[in-house]
Chain A
Amino acid sequence: MVTELPKKDVVIVGAGWTGLAAAKELADAGQSCVVIERGDWRHDASNFGAPEEHDELKYARRKEHMIDTPIKTLSFRNNSDQTALPMRRLGSFLPGKGLGGAGIHWNGQLWRPLPSDLEMRSHYTERYGESILDGMNIQDWGMTYDELEPHLDFFDRVCGTSGVAGNLNGETQEGGNPFEGPRSADYPNPPMKASPPLQMFRDTAEQMGYNPFQMPSANVTQAYENAYGAQLHPCTYCGFCERFGCGYYAKADPIICIYDVVKDHENFELRMNSQVLRVEKSADGKIATGVTYIDENGREVFQPADTVCLNAYALWNVHLMLVSGLGTPYDPATGEGTVGRNYAYQTIAAASVFFDENVWSNPFMGAGALGMTIDDFNGDNFDHTDLGFVGGGYISANQTNGRPINYQPTPPDTPSWGAEWKQAVRESYLHHVGIVCHGSSVAVPGNYLDLDPTYKDAYGQPLLRMTFDFPENDRKMSAYVLSKAEEIARNMDHVRAVGTTNRAAEGESYSVVPYQTTHNTGGAVIGSDPATSVVNRYGQMWDHHNVFVFGACLFPQNLGYNPTGPLMGLAYWTLDHMKNDYLQNPRPLMDA
């Protein structure tokens, strides 16, 4: 017997960045909101304090803040000729759980998309001819940078982003990223301090004619009151950012930046330890009626609502649509259907730089977004004529952690264990930096998400099935960008050795085992054509007008940037159109 609860105006699935932003904005707009979250309640003040939080084994290795695979995982294969098998242990990416979601353990690398990124098909077609995109499902996002900018700017003021503007209202600024789209306002806070290797990267890149700048960071650099009136404090460079919560109130996260200012709102309710099973539809299938979930007492309950917001992690939003029969599943054989189509990832390569004893990197002094970056090889910031690929990535000397279980740099050709390994770790640890190539990921017809025919999760639902390998385009892109990073590394002073890794090297298949990045994108993409997108340009489902979708699942293809900035820009864009248009007159906001 399913218990039916009193109706709410809005039900929100997931209490991460987008879910709490939706709750705050819609509660303020007079909508009664209930947020349903599978994990535990927690708070920076009570749960993330040092030194207890600075426990590498518990959080970085045993992954206490991450999704529990026995309850929720997916199956994986490289291509449709293989049998997908469950991802039995977390590895390549780390979805979160609990209040704040993955927004608790992010690094705070807070980027914006390039204007040309949002019009990728149009832009490349115009500059190079359409054939450069052959074999790829490259699409425009459906809105322009100028339309998104006020929302990107607002999120900067939610987080207190630190950085140096490169483009203020069309004027190029010294020391910033000259390739970025125009900002309507400067960063709220000044950039982070630069560690010695970052200073060296900056000097070398400058000498080589590139345009280095300090990575935009949501690890704030001074006391800051955010756009909602919440207080943040300066970063201590403690080195426990990624995979950890921040007990210093220094890394912007959904709890301290949004939850604290909405938790007592009369229109806000939060239900923890509650697993949404599916979105229910009306008899004619045209609208959603609410969600069915298992509550904290194990009861199956139905929460009716006028509007349903899907704010789970990118992969789980797609899973929820597939198990609920929302939209039309993608069929790789015919190319038809859209749910699960255009799954993309991030193409990661890196140069590993070993200094002599004159350079003290002290890698344990770090922050999630402590980086010195060039954007000269990202997006279409460089001429792609005759390169044989589209897209690119930023190149960044990053000092995010020196936690010793996971940080044991050794020069090339060092044995992987034993006396020589031990000696190499000891000599290298304090004199090393990594230069990451954070590459884009194109969408291709063979990379997609659907439901697994065999494996089921703890609730008896089929696992999401991921079929993915690095597209040829991205292998070429990655090799090219890595060659540029390696060149910079070799030109730096006091370098005794340089190693490289390339996850998308020719002949290497994507693996779910080594950690790469928690930037899974696509599967429910945004756009202006219902044949190639799940939601219209406002984030509203084409097939069910009272369902709004949030998060990186909206990206038509993945950028050469970290997704949180762009996806939060999209979230505030969608919420703006909900508040100022849809809720007064619920209907499809675009004609199919």
Chain B
Amino acid sequence: MPNFSRRVVLMQMGAAGLAALAPGSALAQNRYAELDGQPWSFIDADEARFLASMADVLIPEDDAPSASQAGVVDFIDLQLAGPYGQGAGLFLEGPFEDGAPQQGWQTAHTPASLIRNGIARLESGETHLVDLDAQEREEFVTRLSEGDGFDLGDVPVQTLFDEIWALVKEGYFSDPIYGGNKDYAGWRMVGFPGAHAYYTDHVDKNAPFRAPPRGIAHQPGTGRPADTTRVLSERNTRAIQEEG
């Protein structure tokens, strides 16, 4: 599918979309370009727009990028497609009962099916999250976080919210090799220098540590993580241009 573009999908968030949440730099900071041209691994375009809308309420843009600007939707897509999303870390033998909150995850869903079914039920009406303005989106996420007024069948509302919020934070702060934390956005925001760690000479000093972040696949001299998808993305871009 040479004409597929993640950026185009997420730009279909309309006037109330990314740019409307925080005026100005949203477009400029959008990093989808790096995976742009590659189809999603698990989610579809509607799910991508829902997740981007919700993620950007949870971590909105300010001086630092929003969740979706930092690649969180790409991250979630890859995670749901992989072992975690398919239930690798879950004991899924029945029988299933609701249980008490202290007993933790008790749904038969994998994370991927929980989120797919949850979004489908939340979005089954006429109005989608992406169609709401910024204030309405925030109200929706608030209600979802409180489990207030939703009947999602066998998808427990609190579990759904907690799982998406956990994924958003993971996508914002995990090593860039997983598709999120683009250009170390999350790490730069808090001041975490990353995976290359030797602090014997500094640990007892009351002073800032100014080294820029370096991730697992850091490219020396660039200040940037290696982008494992870049080559593929460039190839796709060339293909699109040649076709055009």
Contacts and interface: CB of A to CB of B under 8 A. Distances in A.
A419 B135 CA distance: 13
* Tier of interface size on chain A: 35 or more
Contacts of A425: 189-190
Contact of A86 (B84, B91, B145, B205): B91
Interface stretch (A299-307, A358-366, A528-536): A358-366
B147 to A, nearest CB: 14
Interface string B30-74: 000000000000000000000000000111101010000000000
A310 to B, nearest CB: 24
A323 B64 CA distance: 55
Interface in A346-380: 358-360, 362, 364-366, 370
A364 B104 contact: no
Contact of B199 (A85, A89, A238, A430): A238
Given A193-B204, A423-B62, A86 B93 contact: yes
Given A62-B84, A83-B97, A54 B197 contact: yes
Interface stretch (A22-30, A40-48, A194-202, A542-550): A194-202
B195 A51 contact: yes
A130 B58 CA distance: 54
Interface string A439-467: 00000000000000011100000000000
A491 interface: no
B190 A426 contact: yes
B203 A70 contact: no
A405 interface: yes
A402 B192 contact: yes
Interface string A63-91: 10000111001001110001101111111
B203 A417 contact: no
B198 A238 contact: yes
Contact of B187 (A69, A82, A404): A404
A370 B199 CA distance: 13
Given A51-B216, A360-B206, A456-B93, A88 B105 contact: yes
B153 interface: no
Nearest to B161: A417
B203 A405 contact: no
Contacts of B91: 69-70, 73, 86-89
Most buried by B among A77, A364, A422: A422
Interface string A27-57: 0000000000000000000000011101111
B104 A513 contact: yes
Nearest to A236: B198
A235 B200 CA distance: 8
B205 A196 contact: yes
Given A77-B103, A512-B102, A418 B58 contact: yes
Interface stretch (B3-11, B166-174, B228-236): B166-174
Nearest to A417: B58
A199 B204 CA distance: 8
Contact of A429 (B169, B178, B191, B200): B191
Nearest to A429: B190
Contacts of B191: 429-430
A475 to B, nearest CB: 15
Contact of A364 (B58, B165, B197, B215): B197
B1 interface: no
B106 interface: yes
B125 interface: no
A237 interface: yes
A234 interface: yes
B207 interface: yes
User: Main SS of the interface on chain B?
Assistant: loop
A416 B141 CA distance: 12
Given A83-B97, A408-B169, A365 B203 contact: yes
Given A360-B208, A510-B102, A405 B195 contact: no
A430 B208 contact: yes
A366 B198 CA distance: 10
A495 B176 CA distance: 34
Given A196-B204, A365-B202, A70 B90 contact: yes
Given A85-B97, A85-B103, A364-B197, A405 B202 contact: no
Contacts of A51: 194-197, 214-216, 218
Contacts of B203: 193, 195, 237, 362, 365-366, 370
A235 B174 CA distance: 24
B95 interface: yes
A89 B104 contact: yes
Nearest to B178: A57
Interface in A461-510: 509-510
B68 to A, nearest CB: 14
Nearest to A63: B89
A438 to B, nearest CB: 22
Interface in B154-187: 165, 169-170, 173-175, 177-178, 186-187
Contacts of A54: 194-197, 216
B104 A511 contact: yes
B103 to A, nearest CB: 5
Contacts of A70: 87-92
B102 A513 contact: yes
Contact of B106 (A55, A69, A88, A419): A88
Contacts of B64: 422, 426
A55 B104 contact: no
A141 interface: no
A61 interface: yes
A61 B165 CA distance: 14
A233 B195 CA distance: 20
A34 to B, nearest CB: 30
B215 to A, nearest CB: 8
A236 B186 CA distance: 24
Contacts of A418: 57-60, 138
Contact of B192 (A76, A77, A429): A429
A345 interface: no
Interface string A175-211: 0000000000000000001111001000000000000
Given A55-B175, A57-B175, A417-B141, 11 more contacts: A51-B215, A70-B88, A70-B91, A76-B102, A77-B103, A86-B93, A193-B203, A416-B145, A418-B138, A426-B189, A511-B102
**Shortest 9 CB-CB contacts between residues of A and residues of B:** A238-B197, A54-B195, A51-B195, A511-B102, A365-B199, A57-B174, A429-B190, A404-B173, A196-B206
11 contacts: A63-B89, A70-B87, A70-B89, A77-B103, A88-B105, A360-B209, A404-B190, A417-B59, A419-B60, A430-B208, A509-B100
